[in-house]
Amino acid sequence: MSIPRRKFLQQSVITSLGFSFLAKHTFSAAGTRKGTGAIKLVPDPKGYMDLPEGFSYKIISKAGSQMSDGLLVPGRPDGMGAFQDESGRVVLIRNHENSPVPLENSAFGLQNELLPKVNGTKLYDLGKSVKPGLGGTTTLVYDETKGEVVKEFMSLAGTYRNCAGGVTPWKSWLTCEEDVTKANGSYTWKDHGYVFEVPSSAKSLIAAEPIKAMGRFNHEAVAVDPRTGIIYQTEDRPDGLIYRFIPRKKSKLLAGGKLQVLALKDRKNQDTRNWETIDVRQHEKMEVEWLDIDQVESPEDDLRYRGFEQGAARFARGEGMWMGENELFFACTNGGPGRYGQVFKYTPSVKEGTRRERSRPGSLELFAESPGKSVLHMCDNLTIAPWGDIFICEDNGQLNRVHFINKKGELNLFAINRSSTSEFTGGVFSLTGKTFFVNVQENGDTVAITGPWQSLLGIQ
């Protein structure tokens, strides 16, 4: 079933206000933006998470707890997508960034003793029933009115290190392996490094089928343009590329398609990282061309090398990505001279993906480059509230925060993790806009945050 484009954009729309403020504003040591309009956070007496006044959090899922299917909540939750079922409840699909070890993160128990509870043929890599892939996804059905999880179950299993992904207009979640382990004849039966699709309508564990035409590499996030059905992908490598997948049939990704890499027109082999020299300047619009790339299953994990040799642009750890209406934003976690992070904006061609695209190319713009850790320290996942504000998670191994940008272009803190040095992951809003869900990854927690959004964000 398709979802109306307008409703899809409620969970993906982004405004042009964007990140241009980042070079102008800084944060004080207390964590609020200097100047008028700063949001002050209230210290949490429990020492878990600081939030603005009037907001509260609730841990709705914790690693190691028993789920509805008898398995355990896996550890290291990462990217998430939010949907709505026929009863109006939230369907939350959550990644788990786990390898076959350690078993402390396993859904199947510390000795994988619960593995017989599942149909092994549905796992992508069963690992000879000794070391199955412990990544995958879990699905939570959440009642916003009661603030309760109604159901929680494993929806995809046997994969490695499912990191981020993206929602689709046809109400599914694309989950990505940030891993390129090859079948080795021992416990790894299959090559890894693929994208998998999980329908939001799934009621139990589905059979895992890799979408091989989307490429085999160290995947991070994806974003789907509802206008064209084209899927954009980031690669979490210090020398990664940006990819575009043009499916043969919209919403039928297993039917195959064409994989391409992003290059800058007349600026071949461009290094966008600005590590040694400033080669890319903020707000400079650069015309883009997309280059075909072959051997997309890449047994040597060399797509980024071959793509760069062909002329593709190079990026510093592409991670979070979100599609808006005719514009796409993605984060490069350690781009910029200080390696504090960059945000790029891609505007697709009005003829995107067609032969006429070359006459009217899309454009790429360095929208922001953080000047210091007090501003934004290694941006990772990003998402868009239904009303258009941008929420950004940090991943720096030190003090991790969630920031938001309102419609006035003001940057404020929204949350600080006080319980650990873990990153925030998977931030996403319910379609009603009532609840912001986010993970504290190393804690193994999924948190639901509610509060006076209207007064905080100035929604009319």
**pTM more than 0.75:** yes
User: For residue 63, how far is the Cα from the chain centroid?
Assistant: 20
pLDDT of residue 389: 83
First to last CA, the chain: 32
pLDDT of residue 197: 98
How many Cα atoms are found within 13 Å in the side-chain-facing hemisphere of 147?
11
φ/ψ of residue 106, rounded to 5 = -75, 140
pLDDT of residue 240: 98
Q: Which 3 state secondary structure label does DSSP give 190?
A: coil
In this structure, are residues 44 and 53 in contact, taking their beta carbons and an 8 Å threshold? Answer: no
Pick out the chain residues at pLDDT < 50: 1-37, 459-460
Query: How does pLDDT run across 178-198, given as a tens digit for each residue?
Result: 999 999 988 899 999 999 999
In this structure, are residues 291 and 264 in contact, taking their beta carbons and an 8 Å threshold? Answer: no
pLDDT of residue 458: 59
pLDDT of residue 36: 36
pLDDT of residue 35: 36
What domains, with CATH codes, occur in the chain?
A: 5-457 (2.120.10.30)
pLDDT of residue 362: 98
Q: Read out DSSP for 378-406?
A: SEEEEEE-TTS-EEEEE--SSS-EEEEE-
Of residues 221, 239, 243, the one with CA closest to residue 163: 221
